[in-house]
Structure 1
Amino acid sequence: MYELSNYNEALRAQIRSWLAEDVGSGDITTATTIPAGSQSKAVIHAKESGVIAGLPIAKLVFEIVDPSITFEAKVAEGDHVEKGTVLIVAEGSTHSLLTGERLALNLLQRMSGIATKTSAFVAALEGLKVRLVDTRKTTPGHRMLEKYAVRVGGGANHRFGLYDAVMIKDNHIKGAGGIRQAVEAARANIPHTMKIEVETESLEQVEEALACGTDIIMLDNMAPPMMKEMVSLIKSRSPQTIVEASGNVNLQTIKGIAECGVDVISVGGLTYSFNALDISLDLNAIKGGTAL
Structure 2
Amino acid sequence: MSLMTLGFEADYARFFAEDDLQGNAFYLNQLPTDTVECSLKIKSDVMLAGLPYFVGAFNFLGAELDYNDFKKYEGKNFKKGEVITFKLPFAIALSGERVALNLLQQATRISTFTQKFVEIAAGSKTTILDTRKTTPGLRQLEKYAVRVGGAHNHRFSQSDAWMIKDNHKTFFGGLEKAWAYFKSMQTYYQNIIVEIHSLDELALAFDLGVEHVMLDNFSKEDLAKAVAMKKAGVTYEVSGGVKLETLKDALLEGIDAISIGALTHSAPHIDLSMKLKPVGSK
1:210 positional shift: 1.0
User: Does structure 2 conserve the Cα–Cα contact (< 8 Å) formed by 1:228 and 1:260?
Assistant: no
More displaced 10-residue stretch of structure 1: 265-274 or 225-234: 225-234
- Amino acid in the other structure paired with 1:23: D
Change (3 A) 1:29 1:255: farther
Deviations 1:113-162 (A, max 9, x none): 00000000011112111000000100000001100100000000111111
1:69 positional shift: 5.2
Whole-Å separation in 2 of the counterparts to 1:210 and 1:202: 13
**1:262 to 2:259 alignment:** no
**1:274 to 2:267 alignment:** yes
- The TM-score normalised by the length of structure 2 is 0.92
1:228 positional shift: 1.0
- Amino acid in the other structure paired with 2:20: V
Structure 2 runs not aligned, ≥5 long: none
Query: Which residue of the partner structure matches residue 78 of structure 1?
Result: 75
Change (3 A) 1:275 1:31: same
Deviations 1:224-278 (A, max 9, x none): 11111012102xxx21110010112111111111126311100000000112321
TM alignment of 1:38-117, pairs within 5 A: 38-68=34-64, 72-73=69-70, 75-87=72-84, 89-117=85-113
Query: Which residue of the partner structure matches residue 144 of structure 1?
Result: 140
Query: Which residue of the partner structure matches residue 210 of structure 2?
Result: 214
More displaced 10-residue stretch of structure 1: 13-22 or 35-44: 35-44
User: Does structure 1 conserve the Cα–Cα contact (< 8 Å) formed by 2:125 and 2:253?
Assistant: no
**1:291 to 2:281 alignment:** yes
- The TM-score normalised by the length of structure 1 is 0.89
User: Does structure 2 conserve the Cα–Cα contact (< 8 Å) formed by 1:112 and 1:276?
Assistant: no
Query: Which residue of the partner structure matches residue 243 of structure 2?
Result: 250
Count of aligned positions: 280
CA-atom RMSD in angstroms = 2.2
User: Does structure 1 conserve the Cα–Cα contact (< 8 Å) formed by 2:195 and 2:214?
Assistant: yes
Whole-Å separation in 1 of the counterparts to 2:33 and 2:110: 37
Whole-Å separation in 2 of the counterparts to 1:272 and 1:29: 40
Query: Which residue of the partner structure matches residue 5 of structure 2?
Result: 7
User: Does structure 1 conserve the Cα–Cα contact (< 8 Å) formed by 2:43 and 2:271?
Assistant: yes
1:131 to 87, 109, 127: 127
Structure 1 runs not aligned, ≥5 long: none
1:116 aligns to what SS in structure 2? helix
2:156 to 129, 141, 160: 160
- Amino acid in the other structure paired with 1:152: V
TM alignment of 1:181-260, pairs within 5 A: 181-234=177-230, 238-259=231-252
2:142 aligns to what SS in structure 1? helix
1:189 aligns to what SS in structure 2? coil
User: Does structure 2 conserve the Cα–Cα contact (< 8 Å) formed by 1:224 and 1:260?
Assistant: no
2:276 aligns to what SS in structure 1? strand
